[in-house]
């Protein structure tokens, strides 16, 4: 198993508070974590920030919020920071989408600040078209849904908690012998005439007689039960 790297440990503790992170990170790693969070925050505020500016930010202690570092450490920090946010030049589309949306929002703010109604409308138009706010939401294409592809297997270790049985055939033979010895010959019971007693203890002539309600008394009135 590969040993954990500094980056891996810091990434796992990135959103923990200082007390929790201190349980798994060394003092040096805590300092790196602080610098990474400050730089990521700065990149989120300014997605077009150049590497040179970010290195300079690290060299000067992140505007006084962290300890200054040397140039070599600054570039090591930069490599880890880029792994977190993705290299802008090779970023995924989601990062570019974020940049475009943020740019359009800032263009709108500048236009409003300068009382530029046309500029504000143009920024909103670009923002609306880019985010497809002028179109109906795409319906899900159910034809692209694929059923699960199950592959039959006799490997029980694929199920959690199950282990293969050694000498399986021998175990089966032992179980068959055991249960065969425990089995008892079933005795056949001949059909016997069913005797049914009524409420008075007398033998009923038929099952239907038991189910009949009480007979009506001679005086014609039903007795209370």
CB within 8 Å of 223: residues ≥ 6 apart: 214, 217
Give the residue-averaged pLDDT of 199-222. Answer: 54
Last residue of a domain, one of 130, 152, 185: 130
Residue 106: Cβ-neighbour burial (10 angstroms; 0-12, 13-18, 19+): exposed
153 is a domain residue: no
Task: Express each pLDDT in 63-110 by its tens digit.
Answer: 888 889 998 888 888 888 888 776 444 555 666 777 788 888 889 999
- Residues 107, 86 within the same domain: no
pTM greater than the 0.75 cutoff: no
Residue that is last in its domain, among 79, 107, 130: 130
Say yes or no to pLDDT of 113 above 90: yes
pLDDT at 116: 92
Range of the domain at 104: 94-130
């Amino acid at each position: 198993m590969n040993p954990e790297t500094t980056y891996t440990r810091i990434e796992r503790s990135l959103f923990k508070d200082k007390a929790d992170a201190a349980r798994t990170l060394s003092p040096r790693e805590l300092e790196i974590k602080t610098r990474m969070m400050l730089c990521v925050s700065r990149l989120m505020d300014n997605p077009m920030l150049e590497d040179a500016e970010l290195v300079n930010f690290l060299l000067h202690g992140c505007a006084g919020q962290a300890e200054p570092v040397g140039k070599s450490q600054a570039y090591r920090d930069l490599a880890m920071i880029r792994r977190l946010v993705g290299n802008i030049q090779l970023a995924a589309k989601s990062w570019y989408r974020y940049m475009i949306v943020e740019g359009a929002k800032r263009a709108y703010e500048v236009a409003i600040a300068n009382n530029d109604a046309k500029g504000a409308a143009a920024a909103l138009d670009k923002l609306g078209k880019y985010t497809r706010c002028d179109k109906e939401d795409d319906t899900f294409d159910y034809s692209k849904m694929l059923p699960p592809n199950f592959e039959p297997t006799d490997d029980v270790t694929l199920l959690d908690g199950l282990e293969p049985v050694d000498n399986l055939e021998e175990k089966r033979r032992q179980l068959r012998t055991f249960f065969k010895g425990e089995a008892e010959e079933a005795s056949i019971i001949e059909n016997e005439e069913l005797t049914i007693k009524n409420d008075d203890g007398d033998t009923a002539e038929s099952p239907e007689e038991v189910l009949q309600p009480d007979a009506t008394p001679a005086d014609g009135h039903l007795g209370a039960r």
